[in-house]
Amino acid sequence: MSRTLLSRDLLLGATGAALLALPALAETLRIGVTPGPHAQILEAVRPIAAQKGHQIEIIEFSDYVVPNEALNAGEIEANSFQNQPYLDNQIRDRGYDIVPVAQTVNFPLGIYSTKHDNWASLPEGATVAIQNDPTNGGRSLLLLRDHGAITLREGVGFTPTVADIVENPKKLKILEIDAAQTARSLPDVDAAAVNTNYATEAGLKPSDAILREDPKGPYVNLIAVRKADADAAWVKDLVGAYHSPEVRAFIDAKFEGSVLPAW
């Protein structure tokens, strides 16, 4: 087991009598997140988890691939950064023995522009950056489809690709780049699809997106653990701490509707 459990020490005198019993130290749970809201929310979870005897160590990852690799390898106990379609795709492609144990928050995806005030003002042939991973890139293409910007092949599910575009009235040039770079690409493109955690990190306001995803869609985020740990007591404690009224109040006050509790 990779979790660190520090047990109580008992100091004994020369006669063997207990002179001092140290208090039990907290069980350390290493939780992987991406920077921004996921990390900030875990900071709010920390004191609630401490009341249940768990010390949370927040491990930040700069991309969407490594947190699942680290979890599957036992380098962290849980992660909180992804939605179900993304996890499903990772499990299918990489064979991870990882399961979701709770829903957390929803980050409605947005398409932003620093050059155009609204979607209608994008010129023909405009360059639109989207994420280059199947789940988030597919999510962005679905957003474009839902707003009539493109038409996709029937039956594409949650992970369409650029090859599935069958109609593109504005002749948009779709530029696929790493999800963490889409916000940084804004000076060089007409618009970019940016996940909310990267948008807030870059100082973008989700309310300023020129296109925005329906918050009631399927992309609610989740806490994931290794399958062997799914029924562990510490998992129930972690979920209970996350789903506490205090954490909900923090999310509502901190993010003002750009991040939505899903429980």
Q: Residue 249 has which token pair?
A: 């109040």
The total of structural domains in the chain comes to 2
Each residue's pLDDT, cut to its tens digit, for the chain (263 residues) gives 333 333 333 333 433 433 333 334 568 999 999 999 999 999 999 999 999 999 999 999 998 999 999 999 999 999 999 999 899 999 999 999 999 999 999 988 999 999 999 999 999 999 999 999 988 999 999 999 999 999 999 999 988 999 999 999 999 999 999 999 999 999 999 999 999 889 988 999 888 899 999 877 788 999 999 999 999 999 999 999 999 999 999 999 999 888 989 99
150: domain CATH number? 3.40.190.10
DSSP state of 59: E
Domain boundary among 212, 234, 251: 212
Domain boundary among 176, 193, 212: 212
97-100 CB contacts, 8 Å cutoff, 24+ apart: 97/72, 97/226, 97/227, 97/228, 98/68, 98/71, 98/72, 98/224, 98/225, 98/226, 98/227, 99/224, 99/225, 99/226, 99/227, 99/230, 100/222, 100/223, 100/224
What's the confidence (pLDDT) of residue 22?
35
CA nearest neighbour of 213 among 153, 262, 142, 162: 142
What's the confidence (pLDDT) of residue 20?
38
What's the confidence (pLDDT) of residue 45?
98
- Is the residue at 5 inside a domain? no
Residues 125, 31 within the same domain: no
What's the confidence (pLDDT) of residue 7?
31
What's the confidence (pLDDT) of residue 215?
75
Residues 138, 168 within the same domain: yes
Residues 135, 191 within the same domain: yes
- Is the residue at 2 inside a domain? no
Residues found in the chain: 263
Residues 29, 84 within the same domain: yes
Residues 22, 141 within the same domain: no
Domain boundary among 212, 230, 249: 212
Residues 164, 37 within the same domain: no
Containing structural domain, residue 140: 110-212
- C-beta of residue 131 within 8 angstroms of C-beta of residue 195: yes
Record the pTM.
0.71
Rounded Cα gap, residues 88 and 231, in angstroms: 20
203: Cα separation from own chain's centroid: 18
What's the confidence (pLDDT) of residue 173?
98
What's the confidence (pLDDT) of residue 108?
86
Q: Residues 199, 203, 207, CA angle at the centre, nearest 5°?
A: 65
Rounded Cα gap, residues 201 and 35, in angstroms: 7
Residues 72, 27 within the same domain: yes
Residues 200, 245 within the same domain: no
Rounded Cα gap, residues 47 and 41, in angstroms: 11
